[in-house]
Amino acid sequence: MSIKAVLFDFNGVIINDEKIHEQLIEELLISENLRPRRDEFRQVCLGRSDRSCIAELLNSRYRVVTEAYLDQLIARKSAAYLEKLQSLEVLPIYEGLEDFILSLQGANLKLAVVTGALRREVETVLSRAGLTKYFSAIVTAEDITKSKPAPDGYLMAVKCLNECYPGLNLSPKECLVIEDTPTGIQAGYQAGMPVVGVANSYPFHMIHRQATWVVDRFADLELNRVLEFYAEETQSLKS
């Protein structure tokens, strides 16, 4: 069995926007007359959808809201995110990302994005960064009901790629996931996929025992090493 597809997380893997999201979540809480707590964003929100994140933040403060009001909060935060991106002259795309993507394309591997972000956010970033053309499928928060660490998004990506490429016969074990958080790594594993962890959002030592393989930065990812490691991991899964 060989690798046929690489599935990318979005926030923290494609775009370095953690600080933006943290600021917007804090502003959202303040607008609801709630006080942000130190380090809460990293503990509650990293790797999860805005819906899961905001809902837990509200629940922990005994604030009960309707799904309709939660939708409003998510939409408000998304609008602020897009406005912030528009104010940036250059988007904080991770160094080495496009070179790695080009090497994957050269190997005829199929690419997809799997994220808890909203579709409009993902499409805006990919379009502006000139990356849209590389991804055959995008699975976002609107496409699934369970956020990471549930495997739903990654399993849906397999389905989408098989629909895009009849005859591909892609299975989860033939996919490689690229993630930056323990939550995302767990989602990939639960989908039955080996996971490369990139130490963009957490220190290397915090994720090195959670992922199949961990690198310090995106620029360290090399296709030959990925394929070799994947072959070794696939063999270990068989044994």
Per the CB < 8 A criterion, the answer to whether 192 and 158 are in contact is: no
**pLDDT for res 237:** 53
Nearest-angstrom CA–CA distance, 42 and 24: 13
**pLDDT for res 233:** 62
**pLDDT for res 159:** 97
**pLDDT for res 226:** 76
Domains 5-16+91-238 and 18-87 share a fold: no
pTM comes to 0.92
Q: What is the 3-state secondary structure (H, E, C) of 4-45?
A: CEEEECCECCCECCHHHHHHHHHHHHHHCCCCCCCCHHHHHC
**pLDDT for res 235:** 61
CATH architecture of the domain covering 18-87? Orthogonal Bundle (1.10)
Domain ranges for the chain, please list them. Answer: 5-16+91-238, 18-87
Amino acid residing at 59: N
Nearest-angstrom CA–CA distance, 132 and 169: 24
Nearest-angstrom CA–CA distance, 71 and 60: 18
**pLDDT for res 191:** 97
Q: Which regions in the chain score pLDDT beneath 50?
A: none
Structure tokens belonging to residue 183: 């939550």
CATH superfamily of 5-16+91-238: HAD superfamily/HAD-like (3.40.50.1000)
**pLDDT for res 21:** 96
